[in-house]
């Protein structure tokens, strides 16, 4: 079935540690790929997106993501997490020729001092 999968429901890291949030998709063609962050009581904010070209994309707040076609993955990374990064992170896709964003189930990130 076509889907966006975020295997980790909840991740806890220490402040300063590195972070990788996983995202896999299962569609016939490579969709457009996005990562959004949702802080408590806030709307969703775009961190970064991938349409084509360089498979390593840089985003806001020090985040980056790497598209790997062979693994159908678009994992989000940050070398050193800050306490303010605690939030819910959503991977999302847009299929070519559609006008809807399809979200994964989200990964809740908790950061310990």
Residues forming the site for other proteins (CB under 8 A): 32, 34, 41-46, 49, 51, 90, 92, 94, 98-106
* Residue 66: strand pairing partners: 56, 75
CB of 21 to other proteins, least distance (A): 15
Spatial contact of 10 and 108, defined as CB atoms under 8 Å apart: yes
Question: What residues have CB less than 8 Å from 31, skipping those under 6 apart?
Answer: 25, 93, 94, 95, 96
Nearer to other proteins, 33 or 81 (CB): 33
CB of 19 to other proteins, least distance (A): 21
CB of 63 to other proteins, least distance (A): 15
Nearer to other proteins, 25 or 81 (CB): 25
Closest of 48, 75, 77 to residue 60, by C-alpha: 48
Q: Where are the alpha helices (DSSP H) in 6-108?
A: none
Nearer to other proteins, 45 or 55 (CB): 45
CB of 106 to other proteins, least distance (A): 6
Find tokens 């994964």 and name the residue. Answer: 104
Nearer to other proteins, 27 or 103 (CB): 103
């Amino acid at each position: 079935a076509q889907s966006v999968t975020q295997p980790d429901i909840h991740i806890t890291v220490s402040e300063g540690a590195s972070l990788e949030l996983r995202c896999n998709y299962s569609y016939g063609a490579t969709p457009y790929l996005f990562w959004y962050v949702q802080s408590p009581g806030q709307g969703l904010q775009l961190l970064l997106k991938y349409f084509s070209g360089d498979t390593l994309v840089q985003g806001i707040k020090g985040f980056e993501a790497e598209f790997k076609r062979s693994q159908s993955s678009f994992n989000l990374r940050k070398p050193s997490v800050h306490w303010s990064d605690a939030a819910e992170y959503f991977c999302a896709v847009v299929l070519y020729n559609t006008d809807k964003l399809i979200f994964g189930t989200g990964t809740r990130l908790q950061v310990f001092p």
